[in-house]
Every structure is written in C-alpha cells, then in structure tokens.
Structure 1
Amino acid sequence: MTAESSTAAIFRMAWPMTLRAMLLHGTIVIDAWLVAGLGEEALAAMGLAAAIGGMLTGLLLAFSNGTQILVAQSVGTQRPGAMWSALVCGLGINLGVAVIGLIAAAIFAGGLIDSGASSDWIASAARRYLLAFSLVVLAEAVAQSLSAHMNGCGDTKRPFYSYLLAVPVNVVVSVVLIYGWFGFPALDVAGAAIGSAVSAIVRAVYLVHHLYKSRGGEPMDRTWARGSAWLTLRHHLAFTLPVAVTFISATFSNSVSALVYARMAISDFAALTLIAPWVQVAGTVGMCWAQATGIIVAQLLGGGAAREVLDDFLRKAWKGAFVAAAAVAVFYLGICIASGRIYQDIQPETRATLMSFLPILLLLPFPKGSNAICGNTLRAGGETVYVMHIFIWSQWLFRVPATILLVWLGAPVFWVFALLLVEELVKFTPFHLRLFRGGWRNRAL
C-alpha cells in the first residue's frame, strides 16, 4: 500500500465528502421547500416526523463513520478477509440498528408525535410521513455501509456521485406524489417521504452495482479477520459504538441547548436560529478534511508506516486544515456582512445580534479544525473511547450547564454563543496532549 504524504491526497478525498455532506443538508432544505406549498401545518408535520427519522439515519451515519476507519485499516494491513469482514460487520450492524430503531419508533413515536402536534391533522400527517420514511432508514442502512466501505478504500467520489443521482430522483418523485401530478394520487406530506425512499433505494442499488463492478465480479476473501464471525463482529461493534454514542450525546446536548435558547429574547433566539444552519453547513469543510485525514492515517497505520512518515503527513494535514479554517472564516464574514440582504425581513435588533457574532465566527474554525484532526487521528489509532469521553464531558459538564446558567442569569447573547468557541478550547488540551504522546501509534489493529 502506498499513500501520498501530502495535502493533495487529503484534498482528493475530502472534496467529494464535503459536497456529499452539503447535498445531504440540501436535500432536507429541498424537501421542506416542496412541502411548504401545502402550508404551515404540513411543514410542522414534516418537521415533527423528520426529527425522529433524522435521529435514526444519523445513527447509521455515526456507525458508518467508525466502519470506514476499520476498512481503511484493512486496506493497509492487507490481511486476508479483513476488507470483507469490515464490510459484512458494518452492514450487519447498520441493518440491526435500523430494525431496532424502527421497532422503537413503532412503539414510542406515536406518543411523541401526539405530544408535539398542535392538531389532529398534523399528528396524522406526521405518522404517515414516518411510516413511509421507514423505507429510507432501511435503504440508508445499506447505502451508508457501502459508502463507508468505499470511503475507507479511498474512493470518496462514488458515494458523492450516488447523491448526484439520488437528489434529482427525490425532487421529481416527491413533486409528483405530493401534488398528485400525471394521474398519481396526491399524498401530501407522505409523498415527500416516499420520494426520499425511492431516491435512497436508487442510491443503494447504484452503490451495490459499483461495488460488484469494481471487483470485476470476483468475490472477496471470505475469511473472518479475527478467526470467527463472533469475535470479528464484537471487535467491530466495540470500535464503532463509541462513535455512535458521541453522535447521540451531541444530538441530545444540541436539543437541550436549543430548548434553553427558546427562553431568551425573541431577537436573540432568532439570531441563534438563523446562524446555526450556516455554522453546520460551513463546518462540513473542516470536518470532512479531518475525516479524510483519519482515513489515510488508518491506511498508513495498517501498512506499518514509520513514525517519520506519519509525522510528516500530519504536519501537512494540519497546514491544510488551517487553510480550510481560514476559508470558512471568510465565508462567515461574508454571511454576516450580507445578512441584511439575505434576511431582508428580520428586525434591526436581530441583524445587529448576527453581526455581534462575527468575532466568534472568525476564531471558531481554527480550534475546531485542529480538534477534528486530533479526534479523527486518534480514532484511526483505535482510541474511539477516549474521543467519546472528551466530547461527552465537554458537552454535559461544561457547555450545557454553562448555557443554562448564562440564560438564567440573563447574560448577553454574545456570551451564550461564545460557549461554542469555549467548548472547543476546553477540548483542545486533552485532544492535543493525547495525540502528541503518540500511544495511538502502537495500538494493535
């Protein structure tokens, strides 16, 4: 196995991952835009059901992120059956999570929907949406597993191409079924979910076809990497479960923070709501750069690369991460300056609050990008539990309690928003000390 120790290698892997993540966010925006023609109640029903469905698909993505590291390690080790073991275990775990999640949704989602819906129609529409969305969950269990396998092998373009194919399918099928065009029944909100399901199935079929075609029809070496199916699956689950727990913790901590934000002044809450999607979308640039770095580090570790090679690669990866952070900071600057044109109907107080966030937004990408490099490198070395602890304790021992305290004290919204930056500074020392100690280099793969 050979790998370039340069930022060019990371860039070739990172840009498709970044665009894929943006397409994923864009799909949610498109679905909301298509349903918006049905009125506010339809949007409310979709938002209510999508919150539950999004948790399930997010869990699949979290487990898949762990799987792609194990695939990358197998590429480096070249052990017989290692790639097949990682693919089969990742697929099995994702399907298991999907089935368990759907069973849990069948038992508990009805009560959650009824408690959150303000009318019987919204509750009924949300249930129909979630029922159709169950097909998305099952299809994404397959598609995310195959995407993780291809990412781990270094082929990040193919999962990106699958979204280029799936997004137009989603739009066309959703429009036809939402509004009942060409003689089809008008299914309102459920039509959007069926459109998403059809596009997810198309994406999964495309990836299955490409995987078969890329191997020329030849089967993988079907021997278990750790001698038996049970031992291999247990190792895979032990590695990926902390990544999934990290996602669950982040989701719940963000939800709690959002509920606390709702108790602030309307202009302050509106400003936080408006800036949050931009932070999420722009943040994918640094996150995908770090994920690509982690994949290549896993390949190098699996191949037994020398310490000097790893150090040289990480130095160049960090330089690229700082360039990406600078680009994101410039993007935030443009958003704040153009906020008056983007959001022409917002109040002057809200616009002024958005501008007050600018100093934080200019600094935030740098520690966040550096922490992401550390986290993904440590995961590549097998330290998924340590990374999980850093995220969990920084969220639940610092950011969430600090958010509650500042809002209760009536602190300016600037300081509440600044907690995003302070949280990254809290994580900075434990991440970087662990990385520089270098124990992750010697962990058995």
Structure 2
Amino acid sequence: MKTQEKFRQTVFKIAFPVTLQSLLQSSFSVIDQVMIGQLGSGSIAGIGLGGKFASIYSVVLAAVASTAGIMIAQYMGAEDDKAVSRSFFTNLALSLGLAAVFLVLCMAFPEAIMGIYTKDGGTKELAAEYLRIFAVSFLPMAVSSIVTTMLRCMEAASLPLFASIFALLMNTGLNYLLIFGKWFFPAMGVKGAALATVAAQTVSCGMILLFFGSYIRRRKMKLVLRGHKERERLEAESAGKQYLGILCPMLACEFLWSLGENIYTVVYGNLGTDACAAMTMTIPVQTLVIGALSGLSQASGILIGKSLGGQNYGKAYSESKKLMKYGFLGSVLLSVLLILTSSVYVKIYNVEPWVQETTRQILFAFAVISPVKVQNMILGGGIIRSGGKTKYIMWIDFIGTWLFGVPLALLSGFVWKLPIAWVYFILSLEECVRFCITLVVFRKKSWMKTL
C-alpha cells in the first residue's frame, strides 16, 4: 500500500507541474488566436498557417528532447553521472543547431513556404509576416526544452513551471498592447502576436536557466565537458552510436508525423478560408486537452525509464498499466467536458455563424477520438520509448499516418469532397490503427530494455 501511494505521489510530483507548464505554453497560442480572432477569419487563418509550419520545428525539437529524456532517465536510474552530463550537452548542442537551420529558412523564405499552404494572397501575406517574426523564438525554445527535460528527470519539474507562469502573463500583456495598439504602441495585428511570443519565450528561457543553475548548485551536481582518456573516449563512441540509434528513428518519426500533419493542413486550406479558420479555432482547444494529460506521458517516460535503467522490469510493466489507466479516465472526463462546453467556446470568436458551427462540429469529432489520442501519447510517446526502442514507434507512426491518415485525408477532402468536420474525423481514425499496433508491442514486452 505504501509503495502504491509513493508511486502516485511521484507521478503527481512530475505530471502535475508538467501538465500545468504544457497548458501555460499552449495558452500562448490560445491567447494569440482569441485576440487575433477579433480581427476576422483572414487573420485567424494566417496565424494558424504560420504556426503550422513552425510546428515542424517544434516536433523535431520534441524528438531531441524526448531522446534526452530517455537517456538521462535511464542513466540516472543506473547512477551514471558522467553519461548524464554527456547526454545533456549533446542534446543541447543538437537542439541549437536545429533552431538555427529553421530560423534561417523562416527568415529567408516565409512567402514561399506559406504559398504551399494557401492560394489566398492576403492570408499568405499575413502568415508569412507572422512566421518571419515568430521564428526568432526557436533559439530560446531550444535551450528551454533541453534544460526543462533535465529538470524533470531530476524530479524538479515545478521550477520551469514558475517561468511559464511569468511568460504567460507577459505574453498576454504584450498581446493586448501590440495586437490592438493600446497605450503608446502601434496596432500591429499578427505581427504583434508574433513579437509578444518571441519576447515571452526569451524571458522564460532566461528564468529557466537561472533556476537550473541554482538547483544544480544546491544539489552539488557537476555538468562538465572535458577531454576523454582512451577508455572514456571508447565509452563515448559507444554511447554515440547508441544515441544515434535512438535519435534517428525519433527524428524520422516526428518529422514524418509533422509532415503528415502539414499535408492535412494543405487539405484544410484548399477547402476554403472559412474551413481553414474553423480548424484553426479548434487548435487551441485540442492543444489544451492533450496538454492537460501530457504530464502523464512525460512522467511515464521518466519513471519507466528509471525502472528500466535499474533493471526493474516487473515494476516497469505494472506501473505502465497504471499510467495508461490514469490517462484513459482523464481523457474521457475531458472529452465529456469539451462536448458540453464547445457551443460556448465558439462564440468567443468574431466570425460568421457558419464558421462557429463548423468549429463546434470539429470539436465534437475531436472529443470522440481524444481518448485514443491520449493512450497513444502515453503508451507510444512515453512508455515504449523509455526502453530506447524508438524504431518500433517510428514504424507504427509511419503506418498510421502515411498508410492510413494521409490517404484518407486526400480521399475525403479532394475525391469525396466531404465537409471539413468529416474530413477531420475520417483521417483521425488512423489513431485507432496506431493504438492497436502499439498495444500488441506493449504486451510482447520486447521494448523493455536497459541502455
């Protein structure tokens, strides 16, 4: 009984701050879109499309952070401090390199990139303006992501939460001033929303670094890079091969998944500006609902990873089932709540009645499929990856997205010419395919490995 209670307390200690931080980070886009929503459907579509390409960077960065979490958690479970330090700096360097590449692309070719998503000249121009400025936030996001992962593995997940709270308040205030031109500021519309996000992310990064430095000094923990002797060099080479074996499937998985999501957005964009605006209006809610349970996914990866690192395989399997149960109950509750409140939510936006109704229909479809999405997030994104068997998830996601999701999106949107709510629901059925395959892999226990 004491063991059960301790497990719940540990899950709560990690999951609750992570969930709150995820919700606060998601609130950046919610606040942007609700405020921009007062300017009409064109501005909503513009910010949605600009943010969609930026999401490719976000998911690739998430792959690097997830790899860092897998390795750091297992090495902490094995009490290998040297490997923990090596993993932290390797992932930090890679994250900054990715941020630089995406920043250059978005600064140099925003119009060309947005031209892929929409043929509407006005919407393309707004999206390009938003993307060019928003891309500056990629660098602080890279640093924050890896440092936050480290803190979570150290069971200090509450520290980044404080930075997110401050950043949310700052983002909200700057949005109000810059979007609508209050006090002595000019009215900048979507540009103002992008600037507010950049400023908030930069300040948040600075605060997280301060918290991190203070925390490791209190714990007298040293993170150093130094020249390796011959034995240490060979260990580093071996770890490097292992690292690439984990990271490359993760990058391929997240990139292909994000590319598939962008194809979905192309389908939505070609259904018309109103349909695209309706889908964009649902994104904050979708992000919040998934974010509300993202802490369980993070906790799954850390706790199961530490158990595997300590070679406690029976404990890892039993705790995995408990985490999946928690996620299912939570997702069903949130789905019911979403169905009951969706009609109220759509009225926040200053858009045409038919756009509001379309948004409500999409939210209903999302509520139906949401419990399966959450199980995939916890089981595939947290539990199975914790053993380092990222190739499993790469192939599962490839099958789900590219053999089912993308073909269904193209058929329902361009061949059957269905309304956007039905297009979204049909393509989302790939989540069910993914879950069935992942559940088989989980029960076979072949993912339970120690690095």
TM interval, short-chain normalised: 0.7 to 0.9
**Aligned counterpart in structure 2 of residue 429 of structure 1, from 426, 429, 436:** 436
Offset of residue 168 of structure 1: 1.8
1:24 aligns with 2:31: no
Structure-to-structure mapping, 1:41-440, within 5 angstroms: 46-47=47-48, 49-113=50-114, 123=125, 129-176=130-177, 189-216=190-217, 218=220, 220=222, 222=224, 227=234, 231-261=238-268, 275=282, 277-305=284-312, 307-336=313-342, 338=344, 347=353, 351=357, 354=360, 358=364, 363-375=368-380, 376-407=382-413, 408-410=415-417, 416-419=423-426, 422-440=429-447
How big is the shift at 1:46?
4.8
Alpha-carbon contact 2:72-2:84 (below 8 Å) kept? yes
Report deviation, 1:95. Answer: 0.6
Distance in 2 (alpha carbons) for counterparts of 1:112 and 1:413? 23
The 1:201/1:327 distance shift into structure 2, 3 A limit, reads same
What's the offset of the Cα at 1:61? 2.9
CA distance in 2, matches of 1:345, 1:100: 36
One-letter amino acid of the counterpart of residue 220, structure 1: K
Amino acid at match of 1:372: M
CA, structure 1 residues 111+274, in 2 after alignment: closer, same or farther (shift >3 Å)? Answer: closer
Given that 1:20 and 1:160 are in contact with CA atoms closer than 8 Å, whether structure 2 keeps it comes out as yes
User: Aligned-pair distance for 1:214?
Assistant: 1.0
Change (3 A) 1:37 1:434: closer
Cα shift at 1:215: 2.0
Report how far residue 19 of structure 1 moved: 2.1
In structure 2, do the counterparts of structure 1 residues 401 and 341 end up closer, same or farther at CA, with 3 Å as the change threshold? same
Query: In 2, distance between residues paired with 1:429 and 1:84?
Result: 37
RMSD across aligned positions (CA): 3.9
Q: Which runs of 5+ in 2 are unaligned?
A: none
Return the alpha-carbon distance in structure 1 between the equivalents of residues 356 and 39 of structure 2.
28
Distance 1:52 1:390 in 2: 23
Q: Aligned-pair distance for 1:266?
A: 9.3
Q: TM-score when scaled to structure 2?
A: 0.81
- Does the CA contact (< 8 Å) of 1:74 and 1:83 recur in 2? yes
Change (3 A) 1:3 1:238: farther
Give the stretch that moved more between structures: 405-414 or 95-104: 405-414
1:80–1:427 CA distance, 2 compared to 1 (3 A):
same
Alpha-carbon contact 2:159-2:208 (below 8 Å) kept = yes
CA 212–44 in structure 1, closer or farther in 2 if over 3 Å, else same? same
Counterpart AA for 2:196: G
Where 2:306 maps in the other structure, the secondary structure is helix
Q: 1:219 to 1:294 in 2, by over 3 A?
A: closer
- The percentage of aligned residue pairs carrying the same residue is 23
Unaligned runs of 5+ in 1: none
Name the SS of the counterpart of 2:325 in structure 1: helix
Deviation for aligned residue 1:247: 2.5
Alignment partners' CA distance in 2, 1:108 and 1:406:
31
